[in-house]
Amino acid sequence: MKLHRIELRNFRQFKGTQIIEFSYSATKNVSVIYGENGRGKTGIFRALMFCLYGDRSLSQDELSGEKKREGLILVNEVMLKENKGEKIQASVTIEFSHGNQLFLIKRSISGLMKSDNSILQDYNQVELQLTDANGNTLPKETDPELIKIKIQEVLNSRLRDYFLFDGERIERLTRNTQERREEVRKGIRTLLDLDSMDLAIRGLDKLVSKIEKDIKYKSTGKLQRITELIHDLNIKIEELKNNQDYDIQESKRLEHNIKKISDLISENEETAEQERKRQELIKTKQEIKIERDQTKNELVEQLNRSCQLVASELIEQLQEALDFHREKGELPPAIRKEFIEKLLAEEQCICGTSLDHQHPSEKENLLLFMKKHFKLGLGKESEELLYKLNRISSTNELLSNAFNRLLMKNKKLNDEIDDLESKIKIIGDELGEGGTSVDDLIQERIKCEEDLRELEREIDRREDQIKKDEDDREDQRKEAAVLEEQQDHLKTLVAKRDLTKDTLLELKDIYGKFAVEIKKKLADKSTENFSKLADIETLKDIKTIDIDDNYMLDVLNWAGQRRLGEISAGQRQIVSLAFIMSLIQIAGDLEVPLFMDTPFGRLSGKHRDHLIETIPKMASQWILLATDTEFTAVEANVLRQTNSWGKIYELQKEEEGVTKVIERQVNEFIPKRKSIY
């Protein structure tokens, strides 16, 4: 989307008809709207949001309840006052291109000032004129719903908040508070479509359950009973997974808190050494936990192989009975007849002694053995059965040993984890009793760690339960699949369910990979942008921008320590801008104008210069809304040198409540102030 032109008529401060033409070519993509505070710079963005989406307020107005529904007064109040009792029409018309199409959209609103000076606003009319890639102008569309769909296709309304950033919001975005972190998380998920994917997966999951329910109703006999079981398991697993997701998020939050508190504690020299020991113990504990989990998996595999152990006592008794009969010569020995016959034929004993005429007694012994034990003439199958039983009996011990070894290992690792946890707790308590200024932090961390331990146990337990239920469901599904084939009337439903399940698996796989890669990419791109925007001193403090598993933004210093809570407001602003730009870059086909309202307020000279030089290269279109105090001759000069500056408009006060838009020439424009100093 590239903005070409906006026409304001009696909208907010803009009395009468006023026009701004934006610069939107590939080389000249910067437009500056210059004016003092209160002249209506934000009103330009407000007009854009009103025209595209019918918004009567912006999220930054922070209106709620009735006020949010009513919105702000959008019709010029001077006009309303001058024409009290008469309806005044206000409108915004925008011309923009998207892809190869040209859009002309106009939205109107009327207002009326009553005799008691209260104002009524009446929403509104909208019309859209489209010109296609071949230059054909299509019939004018006036259906608000169809226009809404068309505009959503160009720029989804959920993304609207990510293209206007005033200075305060830019700085606020990276404040170290849960609320702001949530805003960043939401931004990432919204812009990169992760929310849509998540919802698509949940929708497919729901459809699978729905189809299985239909199969349950339409099936008969045993299949019906199995499908009922599957249905119950579906409900149970869904509930377990919901709880698991919630607890995993909660544990991540706790881990993040613990890390944050630990960083703060580490800075205190008195406690640093103990803290270091504690961190080492925590690391060891994590490593042992990984080993314990692997052992648990091995145990499960071993258990699958060792099902015969269940009957080990019975096999032992049977073996004893067989040995008794063997000794009496009633059963053949545990050696195969064919083996003895082979030895005799080759005239070579198992010990290497030759069975020729020089050793007649050995040969005789073997012949006697044959005669005694194989005289009964048991059938081939019976002999085979005896050998198999013998083999099972001899492997039982091996299996049992392996199983016991894993059990012991699992127990040993669990003991080690318990031991480490108590050591960690002791050090934590000692740290808490130190009477230092970090007491409160330590107590807070102890509480977080206890909560986390409890949560991790619950997560482990639930994970086992989910696995067990899923295995159970899989077994039931396999059995059901065989029975389903016998019930012809279910064929279509079964095919539908299978396709839905296949799609679900594919989407889950794609989503998992995409989410991991996108986080890394976003962090790398943010770091890259940051290195272009920040000055040398800031780059010494901050090396990397990081996005954790929970989509939380942070900055790391040279030692990899998290430092978001400590950087200055100006540095935070640079981090925010680097991040915002990376979001837009990573979002791929998201070509949108980037509005920045007074972004330089907290920035030092070098940062301002870098920003002005870099943003035009990163954004497809940059609309800079600036005050006279921050867009001085210095900034104008830097922007001019980028050769990307195409338009400048000055907002001038004509009378109280009325602003005049005046176009100036970029090359001739001289800001009112020479510099910020």
Partner 1 sequence: MENNQTIEVILSQINDTSIRTVAEHALLSARKALDKPEHSRVKDVADEIDKIMPRALKARLKDETA
Of 124-132, 528-536, 585-593, 634-642, the segment contacting partner 1 by CB under 8 A is 585-593
> Does 99 engage in binding with partner 1 (CB under 8 A)?
no
**Whole-angstrom Cα distance, residue 223 to residue 78?**
76
> Does 502 engage in binding with partner 1 (CB under 8 A)?
yes
Structure tokens at 558: 């040279």
Nearer to partner 1, 115 or 492 (CB): 492
**Contact characters 144-183, partner 1, x per CB under 8 A:** --------x---xxx-------------------------
- As beta bridge partners, residue 337 has none
**Contact characters 351-390, partner 1, x per CB under 8 A:** ----------------------------------------
Least spacing, CB of residue 584 vs partner 1, in Å:
11
**Whole-angstrom Cα distance, residue 438 to residue 428?**
12
> Does an H or E element contain 459, and which?
helix 439-486
Residue of the chain from 115, 136, 304, 492 that contacts partner 1 (CB under 8 A): 492
Of 279-287, 375-383, 419-427, 505-513, the segment contacting partner 1 by CB under 8 A is 505-513
Size of the site for partner 1 (CB under 8 A): 39
Phi-psi region of 99 (alpha: psi -120 to 50; beta: other; left: phi over 0): left
> Does 89 engage in binding with partner 1 (CB under 8 A)?
no
Least spacing, CB of residue 96 vs partner 1, in Å:
21
Residue of the chain from 272, 367, 495, 662 that contacts partner 1 (CB under 8 A): 495
Nearer to partner 1, 164 or 192 (CB): 192
Nearer to partner 1, 198 or 458 (CB): 198
Count helices and strands (H / E) in the chain: 19, 13
> Does 485 engage in binding with partner 1 (CB under 8 A)?
no
> Does 513 engage in binding with partner 1 (CB under 8 A)?
yes
Least spacing, CB of residue 506 vs partner 1, in Å:
5
> Does 620 engage in binding with partner 1 (CB under 8 A)?
no
**Whole-angstrom Cα distance, residue 459 to residue 248?**
7
> Does an H or E element contain 604, and which?
none
Nearer to partner 1, 201 or 334 (CB): 201
Alpha carbon separation from 150 to 56, 130, 146, 620 (Å, rounded): 20, 10, 6, 21
DSSP state of 329: T
Least spacing, CB of residue 525 vs partner 1, in Å:
10
> Does 195 engage in binding with partner 1 (CB under 8 A)?
yes
Least spacing, CB of residue 231 vs partner 1, in Å:
16
**Whole-angstrom Cα distance, residue 37 to residue 608?**
20
> Does 268 engage in binding with partner 1 (CB under 8 A)?
no
> Does 621 engage in binding with partner 1 (CB under 8 A)?
no
**Given 3-state DSSP classes, what are the helix, strand and coil percentages for the chain, each rounded to the nearest 5?**
60, 15, 25
Of 197-205, 415-423, 481-489, 640-648, the segment contacting partner 1 by CB under 8 A is 197-205
Count other C-beta atoms under 10 Å from residue 174's C-beta: 27
Decide: helix, strand or coil at residue 632. Answer: coil
Count other C-beta atoms under 10 Å from residue 72's C-beta: 16
**Whole-angstrom Cα distance, residue 87 to residue 90?**
10
Nearer to partner 1, 518 or 580 (CB): 518
Alpha-helical runs (H) found in 534-645: 536-541, 569-586, 605-618, 633-641
The answer to whether 586 and 521 have CB atoms below 8 angstroms apart is: yes
Nearer to partner 1, 290 or 510 (CB): 510
**Whole-angstrom Cα distance, residue 257 to residue 445?**
8
Least spacing, CB of residue 502 vs partner 1, in Å:
6
Residue of the chain from 196, 382, 422, 637 that contacts partner 1 (CB under 8 A): 196
Residue of the chain from 138, 385, 510, 662 that contacts partner 1 (CB under 8 A): 510
**Whole-angstrom Cα distance, residue 425 to residue 422?**
5
Nearer to partner 1, 152 or 306 (CB): 152
Least spacing, CB of residue 193 vs partner 1, in Å:
5
Least spacing, CB of residue 207 vs partner 1, in Å:
4
Of 398-406, 509-517, 569-577, 620-628, the segment contacting partner 1 by CB under 8 A is 509-517
Nearer to partner 1, 157 or 436 (CB): 157
Least spacing, CB of residue 587 vs partner 1, in Å:
7
* Backbone phi and psi for residue 411, each to the nearest 5 degrees, phi listed first: -65, -45
The answer to whether 91 and 10 have CB atoms below 8 angstroms apart is: yes
> Does 507 engage in binding with partner 1 (CB under 8 A)?
yes
**Contact characters 198-227, partner 1, x per CB under 8 A:** xxxxxxx-xx--x-----------------
**Whole-angstrom Cα distance, residue 584 to residue 8?**
28
* Backbone phi and psi for residue 62, each to the nearest 5 degrees, phi listed first: 50, 45
Residue of the chain from 241, 337, 496, 532 that contacts partner 1 (CB under 8 A): 496
Least spacing, CB of residue 234 vs partner 1, in Å:
13
Which residues in the 593-612 window bind partner 1 by CB under 8 A? none
Structure tokens at 250: 């909660």
CA 560 to chain CA centroid, nearest Å? 22
**Mind giving me the DSSP string for 367-407?**
HHHHHHHS-S---HHHHHHHHHHHHHHHHHHHHHHHHHHHH
Residue of the chain from 521, 543, 606, 640 that contacts partner 1 (CB under 8 A): 521
Nearer to partner 1, 237 or 424 (CB): 237
**Whole-angstrom Cα distance, residue 615 to residue 438?**
42
Burial level of 520, CB count in 10 A (0-12/13-18/19+)? exposed
Structure tokens at 373: 């034990």
Residue of the chain from 125, 224, 274, 503 that contacts partner 1 (CB under 8 A): 503
* Backbone phi and psi for residue 530, each to the nearest 5 degrees, phi listed first: -60, -40
> Does 588 engage in binding with partner 1 (CB under 8 A)?
yes
Residue of the chain from 262, 271, 500, 571 that contacts partner 1 (CB under 8 A): 500
Least spacing, CB of residue 30 vs partner 1, in Å:
23
**Whole-angstrom Cα distance, residue 546 to residue 555?**
6
Nearer to partner 1, 73 or 197 (CB): 197
Structure tokens at 368: 């006697």
Residue 342: partners with Cβ closer than 8 Å, 6 or more residues away: none
Instruction: Report the interface residues with partner 1, using CB under 8 A.
Output: 152, 156-158, 192-193, 195-204, 206-207, 210, 492, 495-496, 499-500, 502-503, 506-507, 510, 513-514, 517-518, 521, 585-589
